[in-house]
Copies of this chain bind each other. A is one copy, B any other.
Amino acid sequence: MNKELDSIHHVAIEVKDIAEAVDWYTTHLKCAIAYQDGTWALLKFSNVSVALVLPGSHPPHLAIPCEHPEKYGEVKPHRDGTESVYLSDPFGNHIEMIRGTEII
């Protein structure tokens, strides 16, 4: 792992039914359920995680741990205890700068 590069903690993608999606991903791919409720789930792959989120809750995004997210804007707390700032690239893709420096 290259320490000079940012890491990606998770990729969030939208699904309309969390349980059905978790069933599909764990059936077709080798991944582990790190968290699951009716509104979102976190699937661990060997090098990165995939968050399954319902439409309208969080936008699809890449989440990047960083030590000082406040340098990107106003940091907001989330229900899972994390804190982050969302950025958008010029084309509407979302990047979540999430406080923390650990990966996986």
Contact = CB atoms under 8 A, between A and B. Distances in A.
Interface string A12-48: 0111110011001100111110000000000011111
A6 B46 contact: yes
Contacts of A4: 30, 46
A37 B2 CA distance: 24
A21 B62 contact: no
A28 B103 contact: no
A13 to B, nearest CB: 5
Given A20-B90, A29-B6, A46 B14 contact: no
A82 to B, nearest CB: 18
B91 A15 contact: yes
